[in-house]
Chains A and B, each alone.
Chain A
Amino acid sequence: MLMRVFQSVVGALFLLHCSLASAELSIEIIGAGENQTPIAIVPFGGDEKLALTIKDVVVSDLLRSGLFRMIDTEGKSPHEPAEVLYPDWQARGAEALAIGSVAAQPNGRIEARFRLLDVVKQTELAGQAVSASEGQIRAVGHRIADLIYEKLTGDKGVFSTRITYVNREGLHFKLVVADSDGYNEQTVLSQNQPIMSPAWSPDGSHLAYVSFETGHAVVYVQSLYTNQRKTLAGFSGTNSAPTWAPDGKQLAIVLTRDGSSQIYLIRPDGSDVRRITFSGEIDTEPNFSPDGQYLLFISDRGGSPQIYRMPAKGGPAERMTFGEGANFSPRYSPDGKGFVFTHRVSGKFYIAVQDFQTGQMELLTEGGWEKKPSFAPNGKLIMFASEARERGILATVSSDGRVKQRMFTRSGDAREPVWGP
């Protein structure tokens, strides 16, 4: 524990303020992973402007993971393996080296060729051509960062994934989808009534969410490709807390049509509504296990809001969290071995994880207004809603608690983020 505190303090001293080029967003990174791989990202050859963006994106992606340290590339610009003088890079302390070139095709498509080299063994670790349509240069950068991350850490990269969140500005609400670094914001829905609880379909093609546009909470499902949407559940009372089963064939939702908030299953077309909890208390925030067999949810049936687990088709519930305080918003880790949740104790909200086998809770954050965590698809990072400078912001923490970052959106309060596929 003391060691942990010490590391946090040291981490805070090395606070990196990456003021990214655009005014739309700023990102701060605090802390560092235990083992950081020193890597040099050489500016690509070819189109200089495209090359600059690629380097920016790759460098900030890798730094955000906390697992890499950047080696200066000043005065060196190899673009092909034959041009690389390995002793130079060894002298600078690099263990890995990324080189390549990028060009815009006559039809506007961007094509980048990239190689990852092992400086110590003097071998090529990976080589790939990455292409994207015009204007998608950041996507090329994210893909290259993913390839580097996968090759050097053994885990899948998540830089090409997307996130969704609700942005509240006064009484105006916007449902937003953005790249995992907060860039490339797209507004899915914009209105003067609350929007809450966005949920990704497993294939990333649809969002389910709660909107108050008709005066009460109704669940909608919207396609991110066609923008078409339909009402999933608009029963009398409150319709909320949608979450998809991993096979995409059904959702769990919460309805009050029979009295208190209870959990129901429903098909994506709104048919076959089946009630699966019968507590008469507040049962809400369901989340499916990765194998689809179980649901985690919260209930105050025991007196205070706590996390429970039950078979997804219905059945007896088992309490998962005990002890002081209350717990909210559980979400399974992608490997199904544990879950992340919001822990409230002594007036503060923390992001916490718990392992099913040990039953031990571990706090990942220092506490404050930290809510609604969700895992990145690789399970290595957790995104949550936080607060800083009197604004609602997006934040991430590595699943070992060592690396944290804060993302400030352009304006308003960012709320209810969910990491998508």
Chain B
Amino acid sequence: MKKFLVSIILVNLLAACASQKPVEPEAAAPAPAPVVEEAPAPAPVPVVEVDPLNDPNSLLAKRSTYYPFDVSVVQEADKPAVQAHAKYLSEHPNRTVRLEGNCDERGSNEYNLGLGNRRANGVKQMLLLGGARESQIQTVSYGEEKPRCSDHNEACWKQNRRTDIKY
């Protein structure tokens, strides 16, 4: 256990070092002329481009599609997000997703396994149409076995009828 903690600390330290900028070799620069007054500098332009996947305001932040009871086609409300994921995947061929289909409890476990599979496949087809490659997509169905919420009511069921898009 101790060894494990030490490794974690080491990893963190290394990570901290890696993120620091390399120190520039010191040149014998002349002392700058003191500036008395200056307008505030413009905000620095970020050097590294932010991955839109990590942008909370992007459509890509939406990682689940939701369905009416016993329905597996992607709903209008979810299409823009799925299309955004398709575009992202087509532009980032090294990224892969796992589509996890889930259902509410109002069926048999086995029927729901089939329905979850159909939901995940519906999202997959839309991703493929939008330019993603077959090799970037994996699908799995959990049926009703991994509910997000376990009460017997619609408020709960509607959270469980979904496909999760996991990078």
Contact of B108 among A215, A369, A372 (CB under 8 A): A372
Assuming the contacts A260-B118, A344-B106, A369-B152, asked whether A284 and B146 have C-beta atoms less than 8 A apart, the reply is no
A59 to B146, CA, bound (A): 40
Q: Mark B122-147, 1 if CB is under 8 A from A, else 0.
A: 00000000000000000111110110
The reply to whether A240 and B110 form a contact with Cβ atoms under 8 Å apart is: yes
B138 to chain A, nearest CB (A): 9
Assuming the contacts A212-B142, A217-B141, asked whether A261 and B113 have C-beta atoms less than 8 A apart, the reply is yes
Interface centre among A217, A344, A369, A416 (most CB of B within 10 A): A217
A371 neighbours in B (Cβ, 8 Å): 108
The reply to whether A238 and B111 form a contact with Cβ atoms under 8 Å apart is: no
B115 neighbours in A (Cβ, 8 Å): 282
The reply to whether B108 and A194 form a contact with Cβ atoms under 8 Å apart is: no
- Closest B residue to A256 by beta carbon equals B117
The reply to whether A196 and B109 form a contact with Cβ atoms under 8 Å apart is: yes
B35 to chain A, nearest CB (A): 61
A394 neighbours in B (Cβ, 8 Å): none
A 194-252 contacts with B by CB, 8 A: 194, 196-197, 212, 215-217, 237-238, 240-241
The reply to whether B111 and A328 form a contact with Cβ atoms under 8 Å apart is: yes
Q: Mark B96-118, 1 if CB is under 8 A from A, else 0.
A: 00000000001111110111011
The reply to whether B145 and A284 form a contact with Cβ atoms under 8 Å apart is: no
B102 to chain A, nearest CB (A): 12
The reply to whether B111 and A284 form a contact with Cβ atoms under 8 Å apart is: yes
A217 neighbours in B (Cβ, 8 Å): 113, 140-141
Interface of B is mostly: mixed
B121 neighbours in A (Cβ, 8 Å): 259-260
User: How many residues on the A side are at the interface (Cβ–Cβ under 8 A)?
Assistant: 34
A238 to B109, CA, bound (A): 13
Q: Is A110 an interface residue (CB 8 A)?
A: no
The reply to whether A260 and B145 form a contact with Cβ atoms under 8 Å apart is: no
B40 to chain A, nearest CB (A): 53
Assuming the contacts A194-B145, A194-B146, asked whether A241 and B106 have C-beta atoms less than 8 A apart, the reply is no
B111 neighbours in A (Cβ, 8 Å): 282, 284-285, 298, 300, 305, 328
Q: Is A254 an interface residue (CB 8 A)?
A: yes
A326 to B70, CA, bound (A): 11
Interface centre among B109, B117, B142, B146 (most CB of A within 10 A): B109
Contact of B114 among A196, A284, A304, A416 (CB under 8 A): A284
A347 to B152, CA, bound (A): 10
User: How many residues on the B side are at the interface (Cβ–Cβ under 8 A)?
Assistant: 21
Assuming the contacts A212-B145, A237-B139, A238-B141, asked whether A282 and B114 have C-beta atoms less than 8 A apart, the reply is yes
Q: Is A329 an interface residue (CB 8 A)?
A: yes
Q: Is A342 an interface residue (CB 8 A)?
A: yes
- Closest A residue to B105 by beta carbon equals A369
The reply to whether B145 and A241 form a contact with Cβ atoms under 8 Å apart is: no
Contact of B113 among A215, A238, A305, A415 (CB under 8 A): A238
The reply to whether B114 and A254 form a contact with Cβ atoms under 8 Å apart is: yes
The reply to whether A254 and B152 form a contact with Cβ atoms under 8 Å apart is: no
Assuming the contacts A196-B109, A416-B109, asked whether A260 and B140 have C-beta atoms less than 8 A apart, the reply is no
A196 to B140, CA, bound (A): 15
Q: Mark A317-348, 1 if CB is under 8 A from B, else 0.
A: 00000000010110000000000001010010
A261 to B113, CA, bound (A): 9
A300 to B109, CA, bound (A): 15
A196 to B70, CA, bound (A): 21
A161 to chain B, nearest CB (A): 23
Q: Mark B78-103, 1 if CB is under 8 A from A, else 0.
A: 00000000000000000000000000
Contact of A196 among B107, B145, B152 (CB under 8 A): B145
A300 neighbours in B (Cβ, 8 Å): 111
The reply to whether A284 and B113 form a contact with Cβ atoms under 8 Å apart is: yes
A304 neighbours in B (Cβ, 8 Å): 70
A325 to chain B, nearest CB (A): 11
Contact of B140 among A216, A254, A329 (CB under 8 A): A216
A372 neighbours in B (Cβ, 8 Å): 108-109
A197 to B117, CA, bound (A): 17
A347 to chain B, nearest CB (A): 8
A 252-268 contacts with B by CB, 8 A: 254, 256, 259-261
A217 to B108, CA, bound (A): 15
- Closest A residue to B145 by beta carbon equals A194
A contact residues vs B (CB 8 Å cutoff) = 194, 196-197, 212, 215-217, 237-238, 240-241, 254, 256, 259-261, 282, 284-285, 298, 300, 304-305, 326, 328-329, 342, 344, 347, 369, 371-372, 415-416
B contact residues vs A (CB 8 Å cutoff) = 70, 106-111, 113-115, 117-118, 121, 139-143, 145-146, 152
- Could you show 18 A-B contacts with beta carbons less than 8 Å apart? A194-B142, A194-B146, A196-B109, A196-B113, A212-B145, A238-B141, A254-B110, A256-B114, A256-B141, A259-B121, A260-B121, A261-B113, A285-B110, A298-B108, A298-B111, A304-B70, A329-B108, A344-B106
Question: Contacts A344-B106, A416-B109 given; 17 further ones with Cβ under 8 A?
Answer: A196-B109, A196-B145, A212-B142, A212-B145, A217-B140, A237-B117, A238-B117, A238-B140, A238-B141, A240-B110, A241-B110, A254-B114, A260-B117, A305-B111, A328-B107, A329-B110, A369-B152
